Amino acid sequence: MFPSLWSFGRSLVRMLLTTIVTDLPMDFDTDPQLQAAYDFVVVGGGTSGSVVASRLAEVPSWRVLLLESGGSATPETAVPAFSLLAMDGDNKWDYRVAPQAHAQYNFKGHSSPYPLGKGMGGSSSINLMTHVRGNKRDYDNWAHLGNLGWDYHSVLPYFRKSEDFHGKVTNDNSEFHGFGGPLSVEAQSWSTPVQDALLDGGRELGYPVIDPNGYSQIGFSALDLTTHRGIRSSASESYLRPNIYRKNLDICTHAHVTKITFDDYNRAVGVRFLRKGEKEQEVFVSREVILSAGAVNTPQILLLSGIGGRHQLHKLGIFVNADVPGVGANLQDHPTVYGLTWKIKRGMGQNLINMVDPSVFADYRLHKRGVLTSPFGLEGKAWTSLGYTVDPAWPDLEFTVFSAHPALDNGFRIADMMGFERKFFGRYFSPLFGREGFTIAPMLTRPKSRGSVTLSSSDPTEPPIIDPNFLSSSEDVDSLIDGIKFSLLLGNTSSFRDALEAEFHDQALPGCEDLPYGGDAYWGCYVRHMTASSYHPAGTCKMAVAHDPMGVVSNRLKVRGVSSIRVADASVMPVLPSGGLHAACIMIGEKAADIIKEDWGVIF
Ligand SMILES: Cc1cc2nc3c(=O)[nH]c(=O)nc-3n(C[C@H](O)[C@H](O)[C@H](O)COP(=O)(O)OP(=O)(O)OC[C@H]3O[C@@H](n4cnc5c(N)ncnc54)[C@H](O)[C@@H]3O)c2cc1C
Ligand SMILES: *[C@@H]1O[C@H](CO)[C@@H](O)[C@H](O)[C@H]1NC(C)=O
Instruction: Give the C-alpha separation, 500 to 348, whole Å.
Output: 7
Question: For the residues of 283-326, what is the DSSP string, one character each?
Answer: EEEEEEEEE-SHHHHHHHHHHHTTEE-HHHHHHTT---SEE-TT
Q: Is 536 one of the catalytic residues?
A: yes
CA of 200 to the centre of ligand 1 (A): 34
Instruction: Give the C-alpha separation, 524 to 515, whole Å.
Output: 10
Q: Which amino acid is at 120?
A: M
pTM attached to this predicted model: 0.98
Pick the CATH number of 2-126+235-328+537-599 from 3.20.180.10, 1.10.3720.10, 3.90.1150.10, 3.50.50.60: 3.50.50.60
**Cβ atoms of 160 and 152 closer than 8 Å:** no
pLDDT value of residue 585: 99
Instruction: Give the C-alpha separation, 541 to 296, whole Å.
Output: 10
| Spans in the chain with pLDDT lower than 50 | 1
**Cβ atoms of 42 and 65 closer than 8 Å:** yes
pLDDT value of residue 1: 47
**Given the DSSP bridges, would you call strands 307-308 and 322-323 parallel, antiparallel or unpaired?**
parallel
* Per-residue model confidence as pLDDT tens digits over 208-230: 999 999 999 999 999 999 999 99
CA of 498 to the centre of ligand 2 (A): 12
Ligand 1 atom nearest to CA at 49: 25
Ligand 1 atom nearest to CA at 115: 53
User: Dihedral (C-alpha) 4, 5, 11, 15: value to the nearest 10 degrees?
Assistant: 160
Residue 417 CB neighbour total at 10 angstroms:
16
**Cβ atoms of 79 and 51 closer than 8 Å:** no
Q: Which of 256, 536, 547, 582 is catalytic?
A: 536
Instruction: Give the C-alpha separation, 406 to 466, whole Å.
Output: 24
Instruction: Give the C-alpha separation, 420 to 441, whole Å.
Output: 16
Query: Which one of the ligands is nearest to 205 CA?
Result: 2
Whose CA is closest to 209, among 381, 378, 349?
381
Instruction: Give the C-alpha separation, 502 to 394, whole Å.
Output: 30
Q: Which amino acid is at 114?
A: Y
Element (H, E) at 183: strand 183-187
Instruction: Give the C-alpha separation, 584 to 150, whole Å.
Output: 11
User: Dihedral (C-alpha) 497, 503, 509, 510: value to the nearest 10 degrees?
Assistant: -160
Tell me, using a 6 A CB cutoff, whether residue 46 lines ligand 1: yes
Q: At what angle do helices 474-491 and 193-204 cross, to 10 degrees?
A: 100
pLDDT value of residue 278: 82
Burial class (CB in 10 A: 0-12, 13-18, 19+), 594: middle
Ordered by start, the domain boundaries in the chain are 2-126+235-328+537-599
Helix and strand numbers (H, E) in the chain are 16, 26
Nearest-CA residue for atom 37 of ligand 1: 293
- Torsion region of 106: left, alpha or beta (phi above 0 gives left; psi -120 to 50 gives alpha): alpha
pLDDT value of residue 2: 58
Three-class SS string for 552-566? CECCCCEECCCECEE
pLDDT value of residue 352: 78
CA of 494 to the centre of ligand 2 (A): 9
